[in-house]
Structure 1
Amino acid sequence: MRRSGRPSPWRRQDMDTPDSGGMTPLGRKTAETGINFTSTTRFSRGLTFIRTHTLFGQSPTRRIIPQTSLLQENADPQKIAFLLRKQWTLYSVTPMYKFSYGLKGTDQDQVAILVQIASRSQLPFENAEDKVVWSGWFCCISGDDLLESVPEDFTCLSLFLANGAESYTAIVGSWFQKTFDCYFSRLTISPLNLAWMAAMWTGCKVDSHMAATELVFSVPCIPQSLDISYAIHPEDAKALWDTVQKTPGEVTQEEVNLFMDCLYSHFHRHFKIHLSATRLVKVSTTIASAHCDGNIKILHSKHLIGVLTLLTELAISQIQ
């Protein structure tokens, strides 16, 4: 539905709705479900995130690992915990026209919006609580590059994370698309960006127990594909990264390539298989796990802002 007849410059009218996780028309309501909109944690936009590329859509040559102190000081621990250890499906969202809920609290803050679908109990108890069956988060962490170019009437919450049935995602997405003249698209993760995640997350310092760094590679075969799982002991992976990384807190494409090449060489030496000829489809570390299909599970609260910053960059890149 258009607002005041004004078209959105980000609207993609020539594309059909996605087949998987796409947004279908909102055609029915049930008395058993309700949708709640909640303005949640304000993530500070003051966190430093430097990009050395000049245009989105191009792979950066260098990324700064964001600090998390401001998030830890200002955010509600319960809301952070809500994001952890759930499988979220990622979407990229174009700026929303005249979005009328949950705008910025101050010029320095960017608000994250929680949307939930709850199933109401049929039992005749006054204190019976609704059961949340689906959750979605809108956010735009350190998305300053796009925010500066967005017209006044538009709100940029470019990253959307959904947890629950795809049918509910389609209903919510369809309503937002019609109401705020925006477009949702499934956010997939390329092998290159998965390699970045493997390197960046392996290099993160954690106080708790570290899990193995696991890489999953897909080998196209007939009649069915074959997956190769490559697990590296966390101390070995961290030691390798420490020999590769030149500047603490900063990661370059050259360092990512060298890190992956070393892992490939080690695997070939033992199994005589060239992993460079396969396709990296999944990365799992202590910090988070991510799949090329656009599914992610965030595992460590200390590095939540860093994970969301990278995902926001990928979402914005897909928009432009």
Structure 2
Amino acid sequence: MFKIHFRFFSVMEERSSIVKTPLNNVLAQRRSKSYRRSMRGCVEATNLGYTSGHLTALRIPRSRRTPKSLDITKQVDPDQVALLVTKEWELSYVTPLYQFRHTQLKSYSKHLSAFIVSEKQQGLAIEVGQELGFKVHFSVVLGLAETDEDAETVFIQILSRQAFATKDDAQKVVWSGWLTCVNGDLEYLRSLPSEFVSLPLLCTRGPESLTVLVKSWFEKTFDCCFGPLGINSANLQWLAALWIGCHPTINIQYLKLVWTLPTLPPMDVKYTIHPQDAWELWDSVRQDDTTDVSIEEVTRFIKGLQSHFFRHFRIELSAGSLMQVSTALGSSHHSGKIKIASPTYITTILQLLTECALLKMPI
């Protein structure tokens, strides 16, 4: 029997996102540009929603009973990995960057710094405290790219010195962000003209005012556009299965799921499962010892959790939408927030998010 912690509460305000289908996101109105190709030809329907063909399965270790940790620090500088993990990031998609060059990062640092200072001098509120000035630093995170078509990840930091700091005081990081592409769709990437670089996933952390400025500078400099990147219920289920698969060697400590049910007013259900119980259920739905997690396995796992919950509380979770997944290895929210607390499977997670970003783009 599962060890369950159950709470629910009603939310009084209306939520426009209570009832959404994966099809809504795919068929939403999209603008078109001459340099983009339609992604619809790369998309296939599944019973968990719409994903591109190469991600109808997520990679897990070969042994389902003794998973091996994918140590990203063997191919990426550990100091750079530390910049990416243990923080919560806000997700956006980015259209291809025109005339972006990795060899010009030092120049981009100077230009973005000047742009931020200029906007501040014009009276734009930047809401980051008492700072004397801003300094921007661009760098490359080598090793995350999985194919020759993937552009190397670019990490951006905005630093500032406090008004009362001494000359010896180090500057404080007030904003961070990174642009990445991990296992992007090969057909799409190869179709882009050479003048364009695809880094479709933007992760940001810091004041919204600085995020707006950074996006504005990129749009003016590289003729691109940004948009919010939510994580739908199907992809949250993928993440839950991925993290559960790590439990035998890396204790995930807990599995917390949050559903929103389309009641009036809407009701949130918080469902906490003991990690060993969750692992035993997951192990029971695994079909073989392959490295793939099939759609059917994820579906059976989630349905098993929902059925157990229904037997105890007579509440049908399948009528609602999964909104949040949380373990000690990471957490993710439908609004487009993710925290990767461990380097384990960071490339697999970024592969999933890269695909989400490519599918979200206007075409």
TM-score by length of 2: 0.68
Question: Partner of 1:117: helix, strand, or coil?
Answer: strand
Matched, 1:277 2:265: no
Q: Deviations over 1:75-128 (max 9, x none)?
A: 111211221121100011111000033589898474111111222232362212
Tell whether the 8 Å contact from 1:8 to 1:181 is kept in structure 2 after alignment: no
* CA shift in 2, pair 1:140/1:195, >3 Å: same
Q: Equivalences for 1:229-244 in 2 at 5 Å? A: 229-244=270-285
Please tell me whether the aligned partners of residues 189 and 292 of structure 1 are also in contact (alpha carbons under 8 angstroms): yes
**For 1:99, what is the secondary structure of its paired residue?**
coil
Q: Hey, what does 1:182 align to over in structure 2? A: 224
Aligned to 2:51: 59
- CA–CA separation in structure 2 for the residues paired with 1:256 and 1:133: 39
Match of 1:59, SS? strand
Provide the residue aligned with 2:90 in structure 1.
89
Aligned equivalent of 2:301: 259
Q: Secondary structure at the match of 1:301?
A: coil
2: distance between equivalents of 1:124 and 1:287?
Answer: 36
What are the equivalent positions in structure 2 for 1:158-169 lying under 5 Å apart? 158-169=200-211
Q: Secondary structure at the match of 2:353?
A: helix
Secondary structure in 1 matching 2:303: helix
Aligned to 2:153: 112
Letter in 2 for 1:73: K
Does the 8 Å contact 1:212/1:286 carry over to 2? Answer: yes
| Deviation for aligned residue 1:216 | 0.1
Q: What is the Cα deviation at residue 184 of structure 1?
A: 0.6
SS at match of 1:264: helix
Q: Does 2:341 align with 1:299?
A: yes
Distance 1:70 1:237, change over 3 A: closer
Give the superposed CA RMSD. Answer: 2.7
Of stretches 113-122 and 270-279 in structure 1, the one that deviates more from structure 2 is 113-122
Instruction: Give yes or no for the alignment of 1:217 onto 2:259.
Output: yes
CA distance in 2 between counterparts of 1:8 and 1:300 reads: 40
CA distance in 2, matches of 1:220, 1:8: 40
Whether the 8 Å CA contact 1:56–1:317 is kept in 2: the answer is: no
Match of 2:358 among 293, 305, 316: 316
Shift of 1:136: 0.5
**Does residue 9 of structure 1 match 2:9?**
no
Moved more, 210-219 or 99-108: 99-108
Residues 8, 97 of structure 1: 8 Å contact kept: no
Find out whether 1:125 has 2:126 as its counterpart: no
Offset of 1:54 from its aligned partner? 3.7
Partner residue, 1:245: 286
Equivalent residue number for residue 182 of structure 2: 141
Report the equivalent of 2:29: none
What does residue 331 of structure 2 align with? 289
**What number of residue pairs does the alignment pair up?**
272
Query: Structure 1 234/187 Cα, relative in aligned 2: closer, same or farther at 3 Å?
Result: same
1:200 Cα deviation from its structure 2 partner:
2.2
Aligned position for 2:99: 98
- Match of 1:125, as an amino acid? T
Q: Which structure 1 residue ranges, 5 or more long, are not aligned?
A: 1-6, 12-52
- Return 162-171 or 109-118, whichever deviates more: 109-118
Question: Within 2, Cα distance between the matches of 1:317 and 1:206?
Answer: 33
Taking every aligned residue pair, what percent have the same amino acid on both sides?
39
Gap change, CA 1:56 and 1:176, over 3 Å in 2? farther
Letter in 2 for 1:249: T
Q: CA deviation at 1:60?
A: 5.0
Residue 204 of structure 1 and its aligned partner are, at CA, apart by 2.7
Q: CA offset at residue 155 of structure 1?
A: 0.4
Distance, in Å, in 1 between the alignment partners of 2:165 and 2:207 is 27
Aligned counterpart, 1:227:
268
CA distance in 1, matches of 2:199, 2:60: 19
Instruction: Identify which range, 107-116 or 300-309, moves more after superposition.
Output: 107-116
Kept in 1, the 8 Å contact 2:260–2:268? The answer is: yes
Deviations 1:138-180 (A, max 9, x none): 0101114232222100001111000011111111001101110
